[in-house]
Amino acid sequence: GGLAAAGPLHSAFAALPATPMQTMGPFYPITRPLDEDADLTLLKGHAERAHGKVVHLMGRVLDTKGNPVRNAKIELWQANAHGRYAHPADVNPAPLDPNFQGFGVQTTDADGQYRLKTIKPAAYAIGPMNPDVVRPPHIHFDVYGANTRLVTQMYFPGEPENDGDIIFKYLDAAEKAAATAIMQPGGGAEPESMTLRWDIVLLAG
């Protein structure tokens, strides 16, 4: 995170800060959707796309020297636009979205690049026992490089719940920057869509 769209900016002697490890959380899919591609907004065989603001997310997977990590496997999962996961342990009364994939997989190319299409998840209370504890919009990632596996979460820029989050608030300033995506100018073809960039830095590639 925090890298310019043109690629990593670093000197020959500077190391990029690694993306911080964060909890996987309780909602990793027990049953994965049959459709696991990089477009979470439209399920195969469905005519209607998922509800919510479309997000085009792109970036690179790098090592701390700024080298691209090719063939890194990226898994991601998230709540829907109502703040609910398609998981039996999620007791959130918010509705499920039958058109939202909720989980995706992609492999980086030779330059370490990935590109995904999803929707912006809503913030949500962590449970009925803690209705005042709200998690901000975020996306879970499990990244497998050649030498490093990283479980982490990506946060959206400018969200009011970020600084009070039970996980985000314990990161230091550099880690917060590394865990937060960067807004990019313009959007996709969809009205009011947003484009974000988030580079993932693995300790050993």
Q: Could you give the CA distance from residue 114 to residue 74 in angstroms, rounded to a whole number?
A: 9
Look up the pTM and report it: 0.91
pLDDT tens digits in sequence order for the chain, 205 residues long = 333 333 444 444 468 999 999 999 999 999 887 788 999 999 989 999 999 999 999 999 999 999 999 999 999 999 999 999 999 999 999 999 999 999 999 999 999 999 999 999 999 999 877 888 999 999 999 999 999 999 999 999 999 999 999 999 999 999 999 999 999 998 778 888 999 999 999 999 9
Is residue 55 classed exposed, middle or buried when 0-12, 13-18 and 19+ CB atoms within 10 A define those classes?
A: buried
Q: Which of 49, 87, 140, 197 is the catalytic position? A: 140
Cα(65)–Cα(45) distance, rounded to whole angstroms?
43
Q: What are the φ and ψ backbone dihedral angles of 179, each rounded to 5 degrees?
A: -95, -5
C-alpha distance from residue 56 to each of 52, 153, 171 (Å): 13, 17, 26
Instruction: Mark whether 84 is an active-site residue.
Output: no
Q: Which amino acid is at 178?
A: A
Q: Active site residue: 85, 87, 114, 155, which one?
A: 85
Q: Does the active-site annotation cover 135?
A: yes
**141: closest CA among 52, 33, 57, 44?**
57
124 is catalytic: yes
Strands (E), 15-133: 54-63, 73-77, 103-107, 113-119, 124-125
Decide if 70 is catalytic: no
Catalytic residue list contains 114: no
